[in-house]
Amino acid sequence: MPATLLHWIAGVGAAISIKISSSIDDVVWLAPFLTNNVSYFSRLKNISIYGIVCWVQTAIAMCIAYSGNKLVEMVTRNSKDAWSSEKILTVLAGSMLALYSIKLLHEWVTEAEEEPQDTKEDAGQENKYAKVSPSDLEGGGELTPGRNESRQLMSARNRPIESANAASEPRQRFVERQDHDRKLLDDKESAQTQTLFVIAFIGSLDDLTLFVPMLVGKGFPFMGSKPLAGMQFYLHALMIQLQLQLQQQLPSIIIIIIIITIIIISSIITIEIIIMMMMMIIIIIILTIAITVKVLHYGMTFLIEGSGKR
C-alpha cells in the first residue's frame, strides 16, 4: 500500500513537472487575459475557459493514448507508410495555428483600414457647423449698418433658444460617446474570450504529443493524469499573478532566470521521488511568496488609505 501510494504521488509529480516544462509559454500569452485592464467578471470567465480547455486536452490525450493508435491502424489498414497519432497531432496543431494566424492578420489589416474612415466621420461631425464669414462682421463683431431691423429682431429672439440647444448638444454627444465606448468594450471582451478559447485549444494540441507517449508507456499512471489539468492550471495562475506583482519590485531578468531554473530542474531530474520532492518544494515556495506579496500589498494599501483619511 505505501509503495502504491508513493508511486501514485510520484506519477502526479512527474505529470505536473512535464506539463509545466512543456507549457511554460502559456504564462506569456495568458497574462494579458488576467491583467487589471480586464474586468473582474471577464477575468473569472477567462480563468474558467482556460481550466476547461486544460481538462478537455487531458481527456483527449487519454482517449488517444488508449485508442488513437488502434484507430489510425484501422483507418490506414496497417500501412507501413502511415503516420502515427503523435505525428498527425503535431501537423494538425501547426496547420491550425498557421490558419488562425492568417485569420488574425486579416482582422488586423481590416481594422487598420477602418480606423481612417472613423476619423474622417468624427472630423465631419466636428466641422458640421459652418464658420461665420468675415464679410458678415466688422470690427468688434457688430452687424453691418445695412441689415434689416426685422432680421436683427428675429436673431435676438432666437439667440437664447440656440444657446440652450448648443448647451444640450455637447452633453448628448457625450452620452452617445459613452454608450459607444461601452459597446466597444463589451465587444472587445467578447472577442478576447473567443480568442482565448481558440488559442488555448490550438496552442495546446502539441502538448498531446507529449502526454500520449507518457500515458502509453506508463510514464505516469492513469489516475495520476486526472489531476494534471487542474494542478497545472492552478500553478500557471499562481505564476502569472506572481509575475505581475513582482514586475514592479524585481527586474524582468530575475523573473526569467527563475522560470529557466524551474525548466532546467524539471528536465534534468528523472528520479520520480526527487521530482516529487522538488515539485512540492517549488509549490510551497510559490505559495509562500504569493501569500507574502498579497499580505504586504493589502497592508500597505490599508496604511496608505488610513494616512490619507487623517
Model confidence pLDDT, tens digit, residues 88-121: 777 777 787 778 778 878 888 887 777 665 555 5
C-alpha distances (whole Å) from 12 to each of 58, 131, 249, 283 are 13, 75, 33, 13
User: Which pLDDT score is estimated for 124?
Assistant: 52
Could you tell me if residue 93 is inside a domain?
Answer: yes
Could you tell me if residue 140 is inside a domain?
Answer: no
User: Which pLDDT score is estimated for 306?
Assistant: 64
Q: How many domains does the chain have?
A: 1
142-177, pLDDT tens digit by residue? Answer: 444 444 444 554 554 455 544 445 455 667 777 777
Could you tell me if residue 158 is inside a domain?
Answer: yes
**What's phi and psi for 137, nearest 5 deg?**
-120, 155
**Least confident range of 188-192, 207-211, 213-217:** 213-217
30-43, pLDDT tens digit by residue? Answer: 777 766 666 777 77
- CA atoms in the 13 A half-sphere facing the CB of 233: 20
153/173 Cα distance (integer angstroms): 31
- H or E, element range at 138: strand 137-138
Q: Mean pLDDT over residues 18-35, rounded?
A: 69
**Full domain range(s) for residue 238:** 2-123+148-309
**Residue 263 pLDDT greater than 60, yes or no:** no
- H or E, element range at 288: helix 272-309
Please state, rounded to an integer, the average pLDDT across all residues of the chain: 63
- H or E, element range at 6: helix 2-22
Neighbours of 208 (CB within 10 A): 24
Q: Mean pLDDT over residues 32-61, rounded?
A: 73
**Residue 8 pLDDT greater than 70, yes or no:** no
Q: Mean pLDDT over residues 200-204, rounded?
A: 73
Neighbours of 227 (CB within 10 A): 14
Q: Mean pLDDT over residues 273-298, rounded?
A: 63
Share of the chain above pLDDT 90, in %: 0
- pLDDT band for position 259 (50/70/90)? low
Q: Mean pLDDT over residues 264-279, rounded?
A: 54
User: Which pLDDT score is estimated for 129?
Assistant: 47
Cell numbers found for residue 5: 501510494
Could you tell me if residue 160 is inside a domain?
Answer: yes
- Greater confidence (16 vs 158) lies with 16
248/112 Cα distance (integer angstroms): 33
Could you tell me if residue 134 is inside a domain?
Answer: no
Q: Mean pLDDT over residues 261-266, rounded?
A: 56
242 contacts: CB under 8 Å, gap ≥ 6: 286, 289, 290, 293
Could you tell me if residue 132 is inside a domain?
Answer: no
Could you tell me if residue 138 is inside a domain?
Answer: no
- Greater confidence (208 vs 183) lies with 183
Could you tell me if residue 44 is inside a domain?
Answer: yes
